[in-house]
Amino acid sequence: MALNPRLSGRVAARAHHSPAAAILQKIEPFFAIGQVSGGPLLIATIVALVVVNSPFGAGYARLWDRPVSFSYGAWTFGRPAAEWINDALMPLFFLIIGTEVKREFVKGSLASWQTAIFPVAGAIGGLVVPVALYLAFNYGTPTQHGWGVVAAMDTAFSLAIVAMFTTRLPPAVRAVLLAFAAIDDVFGLLVIAVAYTATIDWWFVALAAAGYLGIVGLLRLRWVASIPYVLLGLVVWIGVFGSGIHPTIAGVAVGLLLPTSSRLSEGVFAERVQRPVDQFKEAVAAAEDTDDPAVKEEARDHAQQRLGYIHEMAAATDEAAERLVRVLTPWVSYIVLPLFAVSNVRIHFSPELVGEALHSPLSAGVVVGLVIGKPLGFLAATWLATRLGRATLPDGVTWQMVLGIGGVAGIGFTISLFIAELAFADVAETEQASLGILVASILSGLLGYFIFWRAATPKSETE
């Protein structure tokens, strides 16, 4: 979810040869192809805001509210296009989140209690303090149930800002932020599942559980073919969707199952393919040295057989979790998240809305909860855990950098907008919450960038 070390090195090298490359170096973290990136989401948000506030705004909204139906005989099922995007496509984004969460717990920043307590403490503070500040403005009002809007952060945007300082900040900063984001996203998803699910159909829950257990069974059998996993994943999605629980939970649940280790180690791979590689070379040479068509064809078939064996062995060295993230991230970054933005961002900038937002406890609670609550909660909780001897400040990380992590955590864009759609049935309340989220995300992004700019090592000291 940020530039990998090799790619960041290439971008830095280009900056020495081209002024344009130096500029692109700053924005490339927002458009990294290999990881979930915030650039396409940002562009889609700007486009949506422009169109919604243009003369075409009413027709644009009707486009996304138009039902998309599926029918077979007398059976018909339809939902607005925007809801199909939220329910059918957004689970792919949360599938990546679930996979990242598992990788952090198994082999990343949360792999041991010693390394996990620092971001865990920060995530708890980053949940409790923003919610408390939101309720301080809204408790006892009809909007108090919208407290979940300030519960989670936007991982893509926050990591993209950190990636802008990738050569000037210690690697532990990104690791802590990723761990914090993983836990924070889990909290956000629990909020969706618990606070914003009205009724549950337990028959569909049983269907989802059956599909889930089927995936577990295939993993136990070390089943390789992907089609059964995809079909069972669809069963899980249908079960969660029909149960009344938001289907994004299905994405996270399946993501948590994906193996984070390869079926074949690199050492074993080297042993197993050495002989087939030699046989492949022998078969190719035999095909080239003969003029007999039958012998040539037989040698080529043998070469292709050995090549297929080597290909399968190479595939076995890949992690299922890493492979899925690699396949899905371009689609999620450039299609799913932009579609979510253009279909859900419907803030009409009118004097009435701005005036209502300025005097609205809902908008104030969202802005204060995200901009102040996230950094305050993260910093206070991690400082307390460190003072109590339960956590240790990571190597190279300063408290100023910790505050910067909390600052970018206030960018609550994607999941906050998602929860706002679930929490508020009234259009005016949804617009006020969305405006508050937009303002808070901009302020938090600027705050985090400024703090990291002050805390980062000067570039001349790193070269």
CATH number at residue 181: 1.20.1530.10
Whether residue 310 lies inside any domain: the answer is yes
pLDDT tens digits along 113-154: 767 788 889 989 999 999 999 999 999 998 998 899 998 887
Average pLDDT on 12-29 reads 57
The span from the CA of 97 to the CA of 249, in Å, is 11
The answer on pLDDT for 370 being more than 70 is yes
The answer on pLDDT for 382 being more than 90 is yes
Half-sphere exposure of 293 (CA within 13 A, CB side): 0
Confidence of residue 3 (pLDDT cuts 50, 70, 90): very low
Whether residue 420 lies inside any domain: the answer is yes
Half-sphere exposure of 447 (CA within 13 A, CB side): 23
User: Residue 308's domain spans which residues?
Assistant: 266-316
Confidence of residue 12 (pLDDT cuts 50, 70, 90): low
Reported residue count of the chain is: 463
Helices within 244-350 (DSSP H only): 248-255, 266-289, 293-316, 320-331, 337-344
Confidence of residue 21 (pLDDT cuts 50, 70, 90): low
Whether residue 214 lies inside any domain: the answer is no
DSSP string, 414-444: HHHHHHHHHH--SHHHHHHHHHHHHHHHHHH
Proportion of the chain above pLDDT 90, given as a percent: 24
The span from the CA of 196 to the CA of 419, in Å, is 8
What is the pLDDT, as a whole number, of residue 173? Answer: 84
Domain co-membership, 379 together with 309? no
Domain co-membership, 164 together with 309? no
* Domain end marker among 295, 316, 337: 316
What is the pLDDT, as a whole number, of residue 460? Answer: 47
Domain co-membership, 401 together with 427? yes
* Domain end marker among 279, 297, 316: 316
* Domain end marker among 274, 296, 316: 316
Confidence of residue 233 (pLDDT cuts 50, 70, 90): very high
DSSP string, 194-252: HHS-----HHHHHHHHHHHHHHHHHHHTT---SHHHHHHHHHHHHHHHHHTS-THHHHH
The answer on pLDDT for 169 being more than 90 is no
The answer on pLDDT for 16 being more than 70 is no
Domain co-membership, 43 together with 160? yes
What is the pLDDT, as a whole number, of residue 407? Answer: 93
Higher pLDDT, 439 or 28: 439
**Average pLDDT, rounded, for the chain:** 83
The answer on pLDDT for 2 being more than 50 is no
Domain co-membership, 292 together with 392? no
Whether residue 133 lies inside any domain: the answer is yes
Domain co-membership, 287 together with 349? no
The answer on pLDDT for 403 being more than 90 is yes
Domain co-membership, 340 together with 371? yes
Domain co-membership, 158 together with 117? yes
The span from the CA of 131 to the CA of 309, in Å, is 55
Average pLDDT on 43-57 reads 89
Domain co-membership, 48 together with 64? yes
